Structure formats: C-alpha cells, structure tokens
Chains A and B, each alone.
Chain A
Amino acid sequence: MTNDDLIRRNFRSVCEAGDMQAYDELYKTLCSRLIHFSAAVVGSFHLAEEIVSDVFIMVWQKRSQLISIENPVVYLYICTRNLSYNTLQQQRKHQHTSLDNLDTDAIAISPDQEHNMISAEVAQKIEAAIRSLPARCQLIFRLVKQDGLKYKEVGELLEISPKTVDAQLAIAVKKVAEAIRLDMSAELAQSYFLRQ
C-alpha cells in the first residue's frame, strides 16, 4: 500500500467511523509537510504548527461532513494554505499575501548525503542552485520532490495548470543538473561511472 493509499484509508476511517487511531496516523504522516508548507507562507514554524493543528481540529470536528472529499492530501494542503493566508492577513493588516512572498528557508531541501554518493560541497552547490530560483518555482520543486504531490495536485493547490507545474519543475531540474555538471570534476565523474 502506498503512502497515498494509506492517507486515503485513514482519512476515510476518520470521517466514517471517527477512528481516533487513524486520525493520529494521518496527523503523523502529514504534519511535517504541512508545517513546512505553512511556515513558508507565515514565516514561522511555531505559528505553522498551530495552524496545522487547527486544520486537524477542524477535520475532527467536521469529519462527518468530509466523507465526500476525494483527495484528502490536496484538501489538507488547501486548508493549510487558506488558514495560513488568513493568519498572515490578520498579522500584517492590508498587506497583500501571495505565494511569491514565501519564506523559502522553511521549504529548502537538499540531497541526503547519507544515502548519496556526493560530497557536502556538491550538496551545498545543488541547494544554492535551487535557492537561486524564484520562490514559486522552489515551492513547486519541493511539493513534487519532497511531498510527492502530482502535477494536478500542485496545480490545484497553487491555482495554476499542470502544464505550468511541469514547466517550472523542468526549470528546477535543469538548474540542479547544471550545478552538478559545473562542479563535477572529470575524476569524480569517472569514478562514479566506473562503479555502475
């Protein structure tokens, strides 16, 4: 059973049977991603944790009305997005909020050196390459790479077309590739390919 199936199954158990155990699992599976996403919008992990907690409180309270939700993951991301916007608007009155004003520190990711055959130096270069991209592009890269969202799901969340998601992701991938290529010495490349 994939992670996505598990989320769907747990979400259904919560809505149909008020299953508290499924609810706990659902929270544990999704809290990290949603908190990082929210933190990028509101600029604070502390606040983000409360926002995500509020989203899950709402899920428990309204669970019987949520049976018809087809995609729980997207639903929870959208709830988190909306509540994060609301919180931000309350805090900084009159200021327009948009996904171009993200705190990209909160959503930064980098290759895991423990599993990868790359040096800390290369990992840093890759990270820097991604950080040089526009905020929205960084978010798309993260949502796909780290959170495992599909093009269509990212599109729904960011209110853009799946095609745009695809194009933005290709830009990010190219950037990463360039960073690796520029850095990779002939020897390193050689040693890597010899191992294959």
Chain B
Amino acid sequence: MMDDQIWNLLAKKVANELLPEEEKELARLLQQHPDASYTKEILTQGWKDKQKPFSPEEESIALEKHKRRLESAMAVEEVSTPSRRGNIRRMTIRIAGVAAALTMAFFMGRKWWSQPKMDENLQQLVTHKGSRSQVKLPDGTTVWLNAGSKLDYPKQFTGNQREVTLEGEAFFTVAKDARRPFTVRTRTFSIRVLGTEFNVRAYPQEDSAVTSLLTGLVEVVLDEKRNTVIRLKPNEKLSVPTAQLLEEDTVEVDHTIPVVIKLIKSPLTVMKDSVITETAWVENKLAFKRLPLEKVAVMLEQWFGVDIRFKNETKKQEYLTGVFQNESLEEVLKALELTGSFHFKTDSDGIIWIE
C-alpha cells in the first residue's frame, strides 16, 4: 500500500497549493511509485463537465439572454428620492429682474408607475400634476418626465429603431448608438437624434411645442411625408405652433401647396449661474425669465398640482423673472407678490386667485 502522504501532496498539487519543499517531496514519492505518475497525469489535466458543458458559442448565447434580462431589469429601475413635502427651507430670493440663486440641493417627491398597455411590449410612464419622475430606457437613455406628462416606450427596443411617444414635457439624455437612431414622437413633430441631450415640451393644451437642444445635434421632423426637417444646433430651440399643424391634419389640405408655418428658432434662455430656463426643471428648479404671469401661473399649476385663476385679467401681462428650488407654493407666491405686481388669495376650495 502506498503512503497516504502521496495523495495528500497530489491533492495540493491539483489545487495549486504546494509549497516548494512539498513539490520536491512529491517528485521524490512519484519516483518511488511510478504508477502514481499516471494518476497525477490524469488529475492535473483538463477535465470536462458531464452535464451542460458550455462551448464559447453557448457562453455567448447565455450572455445574450442575460443582457436581455438586464435591459428589462434596468427599464424598471427606480431612482429613490426622498419626498419633497415638508422640505421647507428659508428663502433667500430676490425677484423681478434679478435671478435668485439658491444652492441647497433638494429632492422631489415623485409618483410614477408603468402600466403595460394593450401591446405587451409597451410601457407607459405617467406623471400627474405636481410630480416629476425619471426613467431609464432599455437602451440606457435617461428620461426625466415633467408634471402632467405621458411617455410611451417599449420594454425592449427591437430592430434598428428606437422610438418613444411623448405627450407633455420631457428631457432626454439619449444613449449613443449610431446604428439605431432615437426618435421622439409628439402630436406636432418628431425629433430624430443619435445621441444627445435635449428637452421636448409638447403639452396638448399649449399653443406651441418646443424642442430645446443642449448638446449634440437633433433633427426636428415636421412632416415625414415631405421630409420637412429642421436641424438644431446646441443651445437653440424651436417653437412650432401646434394649432396650425393639427388643423392641417384634420382638414384635408392639398399637399402640393406648402403650408406656411410660423416657426421660431431662438437661443435658449440663460439666466444667472447658467441656469437655462428650458431645462431647469430637470434639476428641480423652477425658472422663468421675463415671462408673463399668465404663463408663470401655468408653470406653477403644473409644478405644484394646483388651480390658479385670474380675477384681474390685466395681471396676466405682468412680466416676472425668478429661480426657485425648494420653496413651497406658498413661499413662491409670497416671493413673487413682493414685487408688488399682484396679490393672491386662496379660497375655501383651494383655488388660488390672482388680483
């Protein structure tokens, strides 16, 4: 019988755990017991799995399967943020003409859910007034959805297209993928991009739809059939009146006659501390520059989910400027009231009246 020592050393050899002196000892024992060399030979060579051995091709297939599961898992990943409510801070703000700079970081409360629609592959993200949310699409694109908006997107992008449908306002940071263009469809226009950062504001109740570009390059497609395309450069925005285009849609117009649409291409509105009003909402900032109170009221309605009405119509044309970050509705209104341009009252139904 052979000494068990040789098997102990051989076990260590298999495990690559032999110390140098043990290596010598094993060599000596193997010389004494040449038949054990055969065993050593077999034990130190490559073995194979009896069940489900993975060839490199099968590893690649398993990886593909895994990547599909990862994509779906990432699509529903939720970014947790503490609630906005109760997060009241002291205000340091100067209004009217001077943009107030606020530095404290803040987090917003958000509510969102994804509902599978009729089409199994479609997901829908809906935000109500007063809440905003963020979602990561399966291709890695990040979308911030502003209040009162709706985004339809597939669970998985298939083919060589990435396409989503938006109603309301969203900011996109599109993951670069030169082979698969990314398209955002709205009722007014489509936006075609490869990889960039841009904002789309297309609320059905507003009279114009706006695309604002931060970086990269986008093409705004006004009419797919006639390939009416307008290119935007960084820090440009394009406003398209919605009413006219919709009219064109409903009334059968002769497509040979070009319809004159009043498009407005303009630079983005930059405020102090490089706050860009068009995209400030993404950073949870409420920003407006020389905006009539009528439009500010709409912003506040969406931001806080409230109802604001005018008792005095002339107040609609009061122009205001401001940047707010963590203030409550009450604080924002009081700050704006300090400019002396209007007063506000809240009635028993919670409706805010401007007078």
Q: A57-B69, A144-B15, A151-B17 are in contact. Are A177 and B45 (CB under 8 A)?
A: no
Asked whether A177 lies within 8 Å of B48 as measured between CB atoms, the reply is no
Interface pair A32/B50, CB less than 8 Å apart:
no
Q: Identify which of B50, B53, B59, B73 contacts A105 (C-beta below 8 A).
A: B50
B residues in contact with A151, CB < 8 Å: 15, 17
On whether the beta carbons of B8 and A170 are closer than 8 Å, the reply is yes
Q: Is A47 at the interface (CB under 8 A from chain B)? A: no
Complex-state Cα separation, A131 to B231, whole angstroms? 69
Contact status B47-A111, CB under 8 Å: yes
Partner of B46, one of A54, A115, A118, A189: A115
**Which of these, B12, B42, B56, B60, contacts A116 with CB under 8 Å?**
B42
Report the interface size for chain A: residues with CB under 8 A from the other chain: 52
Q: A32-B54, A111-B47 are in contact. Are A61 and B36 (CB under 8 A)?
A: no
B14 touches A (CB below 8 Å) = yes
Q: Contacts of B63 on A, CB cut-off 8 Å?
A: 24, 27-28, 31
Distance between B47 CB and nearest chain A CB, rounded to angstroms:
5
A31–B42 touching, CB < 8 Å: no
Q: Is the CB of B73 within 8 A of A57?
A: yes
Query: Which A residues are CB-close (under 8 A) to B17?
Result: 150-151, 166
Contacts of B46 in A (CB 8 A): 112, 115
**What separation, in Å, do the CA atoms of A193 and B70 have in the docked complex?**
53
Determine the residue in chain A with the shortest Cβ distance to B15: A144
Question: Assuming A28-B60, A108-B51, A144-B14, is B7 touching A61 (CB within 8 A)?
Answer: no
Instruction: Tell me the bound Cα distance from A61 to B41 in angstroms.
Output: 44
- Known contacts A61-B77, A150-B15, A166-B17, A45 near B38 by CB under 8 Å: no
Given A31-B59, A56-B66, A108-B51, A176 and B42 contact (CB-CB distance below 8 Å): yes
CB closest chain-A residue, reference B55: A32
Alpha-carbon distance between A144 and B43 when the two chains are bound, in angstroms: 11
Q: A57-B70, A173-B43 are in contact. Are A109 and B48 (CB under 8 A)?
A: yes
A60 interface residue (CB < 8 Å to B): yes
A interface: dominant SS = helix
Contact B4 A176 (CB under 8 A): no
Note all chain A residues with C-beta closer than 8 A to B328. Answer: none
B27 at the interface (CB under 8 A from A): no
Taking CB atoms, residues of chain B closer than 8 Å to A110 are 47-48, 50
By a beta-carbon cutoff of 8 Å, the part of chain A in contact with chain B is 24, 27-28, 31-32, 35-36, 39, 45, 49-50, 52-54, 56-57, 60-61, 105-106, 108-112, 115-118, 126-127, 144-146, 148, 150-151, 166, 169-170, 172-174, 176-177, 180-181, 184, 189, 192-193, 196
B-side residues, CB < 8 A to A, are: 4, 7-8, 10-12, 14-17, 34-39, 41-43, 45-54, 56, 59-60, 62-63, 65-67, 69-70, 73-74, 77
Nearest 8 CB-CB pairs, A to B?
A: A32-B54, A108-B50, A170-B11, A169-B11, A174-B7, A173-B11, A53-B66, A177-B39
